[in-house]
Structure 1
């Protein structure tokens, strides 16, 4: 066998033993490092389980391997030194973890490395030229000191970083040293690895890296640039990371994807992914091509990241509730909001449902209850008509309504009497199609028969609420399709306004709409509004409605011709 394996084991020792046996049975010498955090009794049982492979499986000195700390580098050094010392004829050394599983036959990897005896497979890139770092520490990981554990002493870690930034602390790099970064999982030629481990500056470089942040991603990556004659800046181990810099965990249902990648080894494999471990035990899946091709599955991971980061438009759940403004679309589908129409025409809701083919609700944000379509008390998705439940999270109630009803266009009534929690949300939502008859709140007051003097305060409150709502609709942040008529404008041409709203909410609807319902009686509305003005309440949002309705015009006389006598 032309290569040996250094394996770093932290947990799932039973699976790690299975992987070690696989490497060893294929003829690979293996050096195992077990994290010192593993209890000694458990470690001894683990070592005893592999005692029958003592000619090819060795155990090196143990170090405590804490994420982001020097221990992982020290463990790798110990394992590599022992492997090169006991098996001096190796051509390459492959670094893996206990959760790294070979996907292809080990003989294929052996042939691949034997054909490239001087090539070092290690991801190595300048810090300033890659976007990999997550968490705000890029070049600073080399210029600041990190004596505190990020996981166990996070408060001290953050405060010490902030203090060094405030004081302008900047560590000097060892002479002639340039830092590089890349994946921890590499396969180096024995010659390059020996040169790294015997570097004349190693004591100084090791002291420096003991206070570097996540040194296992930069120590060998930097020194390989100094000693290698031919670097392939890529890892032979497939390890995919999500947008937060955390490695993807592979399960049994990922097995076809892993096969398609053609990679020799993959990590991290879930310890209970029995199908993946079974395939490894049978020798792995031979690949069509010698070289691994992880780019074949990059699109799948890109789509998965897109789905995880952006989600589906208008879908919210406990496991994925994005920060405000981070949504991939506030709602799932276009919907309509009608304000003031139902107050002016009896039977408007039923007529609009027939004319548009949409599901038309009443005032779903009414203070008493949610007025679902057809008077339902529970709607799709087990949505209750309880106003208290709705108002606990008004915007989420709206998004759930649109998501659950996305098979048909959803339309609902809205007005100044309703809860205004979603006023800005619908204004900023590109899916919203909003039609407003401003001042229509005056019609129910007029038809109540109560004297204007007793309604002035209520009218003033409704008008102020509607004015604030209109300010949201007219703001630069508004992205909805919005049409606004004053009450006076609508009364002049109601058919035109209704046709425009139908074209917005139900575009492409075939056939002429049914005849609209009749207007409610409005005789005396102008006088009612004038009485409010006389009492000091100015209903400016209604527009200019005359006190007396204009007299009906007499039809013009038909012209006639007078023929002169001959």
Structure 2
């Protein structure tokens, strides 16, 4: 038993093994203070079935764990010549079934070694790379304490093409460090005439406790089952899952003999499993696969979460979202530039909450002039622009069940364009070139207007490129301004139908079109000065754009 923390629980479990007729050799990490180690020795001094091995410094990923296991195994084999199997466990492991059941299970399989052992080509679980390289490079530095030296030395070896020679007669294998080996196989490994060469080689292998016995067991075992009798689950980062009191029924369902890691304060688990045979689990073949689905679901919730909801454990990694937003929403670009009363008109005709420009130069224009929206979402521009993507995500999440509509423009914060384009919940309607309308009435000097027109056209072109990208998933409707104002009712009807009209009947009115007096001449002046506003479309030169034919319904109001 390898222990380094929660020594009180380790004592409790060691006594449980000993009471079941299984002798225990404890290795206590040399980093544990002598005072704590002395208390553990005195606490179990009355139990003849418990002894202690020589102490080694056991740092994760280093040789100390293998050396500690070797010494403890040798002491156990010498002191108890009658044992048939050696079970490697830790202080955070907990027996889930009566000890006698495990003894009977192993007695029925006297020649079988239970150790997870797979070649590097067949292994998919190493996290962070270095699956094959851990056997071909040298790792003299601690990954935890000297990370920069560790990474730098790996890069240096790669650069110079360094590669270690494998000792003859072995094929590297990997697997869980928690195994159960027969006396014959373990003795053969420890008494191997080439052990010094193997130890010298594995001393500089990375994480040797997951490869030393796994490799050498293949050399000596007569009958090997590549599985562990210890239930241990790992998350997507390669860290072990910790079991708490509320995992009691989950552990019972696994039918496994031992589980790790158990939280030291999970008193309910220790009381439930460190009991007599009548209170323990039923006899069955260990089957950790019964609970794999639950762990897969938990991993999915941690890495992907719910649609449109972020959590701190997955926030920093791009692409770890399960969808940017939690519901459908609509974005209108260019409509407020072309129509004077577009927002109130849309509120009257669409079953949605209609906002103004949420990402414009000023504060977010929430519907109804609100300053604080659901979930305490503030309209403050500084907070919004600090994380505009999160602002949009929170807006849609906080207003679930109600479709949100907001205005966008070439003047707005463009950090969101790819997020919107790739969001399948987004419906985007764009009138290209509409930014030219307010510019035509600007009081700025023409040189400034020309420069601003070029900038806005470039930004809108980037937005359109994102919307037309093969990565785009948003539903997109695009019209040039020249095309749109010739017959605006059809595009407006299409946009309203996507949102959901308040009435099933076709639109009976359109919003008021802004005055376009002098607009064609403005466009021509831009062209004459070398700035071609191609996104506006083809406006006739020298004449004003004509309104659509007068009809009773639908009709377009002009000023």
TM-score between the two structures when normalised by the length of structure 2? 0.90
Q: 1:92 to 1:371 in 2, by over 3 A?
A: same
- Which residue in the other structure is 1:381 paired with? 375
- Which residue in the other structure is 1:486 paired with? 480
- Which residue in the other structure is 1:394 paired with? 388
Q: 1:340-351 maps to which residues of 2 (within 5 A)?
A: 340-351=334-345
Q: 1:163 to 1:529 in 2, by over 3 A?
A: closer
- Aligned pair partner of 1:235 in 224, 228, 231: 228
Q: Distance in 2 between matches of 1:434 and 1:554?
A: 29
Q: Distance in 2 between matches of 1:258 and 1:149?
A: 34
- The answer to whether the 8 A contact 1:37-1:64 is kept is yes
SS, match of residue 421 in structure 1: helix
Per-residue deviation, 1:513: 5.2
Per-residue deviation, 1:370: 0.5
SS, match of residue 390 in structure 1: helix
- Which residue in the other structure is 2:554 paired with? none
Q: Distance in 1 between matches of 2:527 and 2:258?
A: 85
Q: Distance in 2 between matches of 1:148 and 1:208?
A: 15
- The answer to whether the 8 A contact 2:24-2:76 is kept is yes
- Which residue in the other structure is 1:558 paired with? none
- The answer to whether the 8 A contact 2:351-2:499 is kept is no
- Aligned pair partner of 2:293 in 292, 296, 299: 299
Q: 1:523 to 1:179 in 2, by over 3 A?
A: closer
Q: More deviation in 414-423 or 90-99? A: 414-423
Per-residue deviation, 1:98: 0.2
Q: Distance in 1 between matches of 2:53 and 2:340?
A: 86
- Which residue in the other structure is 2:193 paired with? 200
- Which residue in the other structure is 2:362 paired with? 368
Q: 1:313 to 1:144 in 2, by over 3 A?
A: same
- Which residue in the other structure is 2:327 paired with? 333
Q: Distance in 2 between matches of 1:138 and 1:491?
A: 62
- Which residue in the other structure is 2:68 paired with? 75
Q: 1:525 to 1:252 in 2, by over 3 A?
A: farther
- Which residue in the other structure is 1:355 paired with? 349
Per-residue deviation, 1:238: 0.5
SS, match of residue 342 in structure 1: helix
Report whether the alignment pairs 1:519 with 2:512: yes
Q: 1:149 to 1:453 in 2, by over 3 A?
A: closer
Per-residue deviation, 1:548: 3.6
- Which residue in the other structure is 1:218 paired with? 211
**Unaligned ranges ≥5, structure 1:** 1-6, 556-566
Q: Distance in 2 between matches of 1:144 and 1:534?
A: 65
- Aligned pair partner of 1:247 in 240, 254, 274: 240
How many residues are treated as equivalent by the alignment? 546
Report whether the alignment pairs 1:505 with 2:532: no
Per-residue deviation, 1:186: 0.7
Q: More deviation in 168-177 or 365-374? A: 168-177
* 1:220-262 CA-partner distances (Å, limit 9, x unpaired): 1122112221111100000111122211111112221111111
Per-residue deviation, 1:429: 2.6
Per-residue deviation, 1:105: 1.6
Per-residue deviation, 1:346: 4.6
- Which residue in the other structure is 1:125 paired with? 118
Q: CA RMSD in A?
A: 2.7
- Which residue in the other structure is 1:27 paired with? 21
Q: Distance in 2 between matches of 1:67 and 1:397?
A: 41
* 1:513-547 CA-partner distances (Å, limit 9, x unpaired): 55334423536355664674587465443333442
Report whether the alignment pairs 1:144 with 2:161: no
* 1:331-367 CA-partner distances (Å, limit 9, x unpaired): 3322210112234445432443443312211110121
**Unaligned ranges ≥5, structure 2:** 552-559
Report whether the alignment pairs 1:135 with 2:121: no
Q: More deviation in 513-522 or 96-105? A: 513-522
Q: 1:523 to 1:175 in 2, by over 3 A?
A: closer
Q: 1:161-176 maps to which residues of 2 (within 5 A)?
A: 161-176=154-169
SS, match of residue 88 in structure 2: strand
* 1:495-530 CA-partner distances (Å, limit 9, x unpaired): 1101221233349x8722553344235363556646
- Which residue in the other structure is 1:268 paired with? 261
Per-residue deviation, 1:412: 0.5
* 1:147-204 CA-partner distances (Å, limit 9, x unpaired): 2222222222222222222333222222212222111001111222222222222222
- The answer to whether the 8 A contact 1:32-1:79 is kept is yes
Q: 1:432 to 1:81 in 2, by over 3 A?
A: same
- Larger of the two Rg values belongs to structure: 1
Q: More deviation in 377-386 or 274-283? A: 274-283
Per-residue deviation, 1:280: 2.3
Q: Distance in 1 between matches of 2:241 and 2:547?
A: 77
* 1:38-82 CA-partner distances (Å, limit 9, x unpaired): 1212211110011111x1111111111111111111111111111
Q: 1:144 to 1:549 in 2, by over 3 A?
A: closer
* 1:87-145 CA-partner distances (Å, limit 9, x unpaired): 11112111100000111122221221121111111111112211122222122222222
Per-residue deviation, 1:467: 3.8
Q: 1:9 to 1:377 in 2, by over 3 A?
A: same
Q: 1:108 to 1:454 in 2, by over 3 A?
A: same
- The answer to whether the 8 A contact 2:433-2:536 is kept is yes
Q: 1:368 to 1:451 in 2, by over 3 A?
A: closer
Q: Distance in 2 between matches of 1:128 and 1:332?
A: 40
- Which residue in the other structure is 2:174 paired with? 181
- The answer to whether the 8 A contact 2:244-2:262 is kept is yes
Q: Distance in 2 between matches of 1:168 and 1:488?
A: 63
Per-residue deviation, 1:462: 4.2
Q: Distance in 2 between matches of 1:27 and 1:100?
A: 18
- Which residue in the other structure is 1:50 paired with? 44
Q: Distance in 2 between matches of 1:485 and 1:143?
A: 60
Q: 1:104 to 1:512 in 2, by over 3 A?
A: farther
- Which residue in the other structure is 1:418 paired with? 412
- The answer to whether the 8 A contact 1:532-1:539 is kept is no
- The answer to whether the 8 A contact 1:452-1:531 is kept is no
Q: 1:489 to 1:527 in 2, by over 3 A?
A: closer
- Which residue in the other structure is 1:64 paired with? 57
